[in-house]
Structure 1
């Protein structure tokens, strides 16, 4: 069963479409279901729910439990969603530097990750916990590309908000790798970071960040390069592996 909410964001006129998938099977824990929060739900919510639905029926072999999937996306036209991603998922910074590939074009507003993170943790998470049987110590945040960058930012800034962070092809390049300035906030969070073999410099970026994580995260971090996958194909190629990592934690 999937329920859909339209919730107001932190700013006037900004609304988010929240999709909540509830499994047919009862939770494996008496404390409730694990929860996966999926960013960019307009792209990935359907895929995420199908992975949970199909594989949780054979959890002894797949390692994937019945879980609630919460998909979050701006409630707007696709073009507006694409531009808004550069605001919601990028960290605040005093100065922004754009890469040559953008050819001098800006992306509209950006640097709103803290505002979006506050909405996610202060408003959406409590609402999910209030309305569904949730295992509060088994929640993860999933993001790809810019939302993968947001997953890293969230882990560094609010490591206690989720027990696991799944960052797929994170846009570490953004603003000359400004994400490194938040590394000191890393604790002992559990992190799955993955990238497609065909993603060029993003493979090097992901590996470099992986090696710069504090030693306290060594045993809690999984780094995976998906053979023959590119920036788009890496999502379906790694989603089961990412989810299995979460459930194994």
Structure 2
């Protein structure tokens, strides 16, 4: 399946086409392994996932167990967050980093992430020619809740009230959708440059329904935190949509206990911001008050 550059950028949620033109690796080139990390595979009916883990370096600070940061698009971002944790050992050494990736040496698997992070097409709408299959978000949510999180909890003593999910672009859109559908699953959500424009801003309806439920007292938000981030050199649309989302949720739900943070990293682009954000993310999510 071949996508033209414009469609590839769209399906990546704005990731520039330059990421896709990756050099072919020489056959004799050896893989680089990050010291003190683990890697394993988890199989699903739709294809396996490559899971990369930086275990905790010290005993948990709280008796409940270790905090866990789950990274979507793990192939692309695990190295940056691994280094950020190593350089902030006094902050991050009791934390677990879990990167959810795909069995590929490349930073992104376009077809898999396009399926995993998107909702089904609206009724009556057919995919455009050349597009990968979309609409697998429910399967991805089930994989996280029924396979990955329980697997990590079997391997380590995990604090169920300090689990964080981070997604960028399409992954940020998915993280928001999961939060609206299963707010009990993670204590914190980090959505970096989320693609809230996708499918004519479909996610706004989910936001409105979630807000109404929370305001009616049907959703427990005490101790929940949403961190929205963007790069200062991103498009005006991305900056405006991310800022507006932060303002709406803070205004509507802070009274119900939801803490909303909004950070813009100056000079960062759509491609650079998730990596540049690593230090800020760790500092913010690991110092958040535990309820």
Q: Which moved more, 1:35-44 or 1:227-236?
A: 227-236
Q: What is the TM-score when the length of structure 2 is the normalising length? A: 0.75
Partner of 1:16: 49
Partner of 1:116: 140
Pair 1:216-2:253 in alignment: yes
Q: CA deviation at 1:34?
A: 0.4
Write out per-residue CA displacement over residues 52-108 of structure 1, whole angstroms, 9 at most, x where no aligned residue. 12202x33xxxx45211111112246498112111101123425989xxxxx66531
Pair 1:28-2:61 in alignment: yes
Partner of 1:185: 210
Residue pair 2:231, 2:265 contacting (<8 A) in 1 also:
yes
Residue pair 2:58, 2:94 contacting (<8 A) in 1 also:
yes
**SS of residue matched to 2:60:** coil
Pair 1:148-2:172 in alignment: yes
Any gaps of 5 or more consecutive residues in structure 2?
Answer: 1-35, 215-220
Residue pair 2:229, 2:262 contacting (<8 A) in 1 also:
yes
Supply the distance in 1 between the matched residues of 2:125 and 2:268 (Cα, whole angstroms).
28
Residue pair 1:195, 1:202 contacting (<8 A) in 2 also:
yes
Any gaps of 5 or more consecutive residues in structure 1?
Answer: 99-103
Q: CA deviation at 1:18?
A: 0.7
**SS of residue matched to 2:109:** helix
Supply the distance in 2 between the matched residues of 1:150 and 1:195 (Cα, whole angstroms).
16
Distance of aligned partners of 1:20 and 1:79 in 2 relative to their CA distance in 1, 3 Å threshold: closer
Residue pair 1:91, 1:153 contacting (<8 A) in 2 also:
no
Which is greater in Rg? 2
Which structure is higher in helix share? Answer: 1
Residue pair 1:97, 1:176 contacting (<8 A) in 2 also:
no
Residue pair 2:231, 2:264 contacting (<8 A) in 1 also:
yes
**SS of residue matched to 1:25:** coil
Residue pair 1:152, 1:167 contacting (<8 A) in 2 also:
yes
Q: CA deviation at 1:142?
A: 0.7
Q: CA deviation at 1:210?
A: 1.9
Q: What is the TM-score when the length of structure 1 is the normalising length? A: 0.87
Supply the distance in 1 between the matched residues of 2:82 and 2:185 (Cα, whole angstroms).
22
Pair 1:175-2:171 in alignment: no
Residue pair 2:57, 2:93 contacting (<8 A) in 1 also:
no
Supply the distance in 1 between the matched residues of 2:50 and 2:124 (Cα, whole angstroms).
29
* Aligned length, in residue pairs: 237
Supply the distance in 2 between the matched residues of 1:132 and 1:85 (Cα, whole angstroms).
27
**SS of residue matched to 1:35:** strand
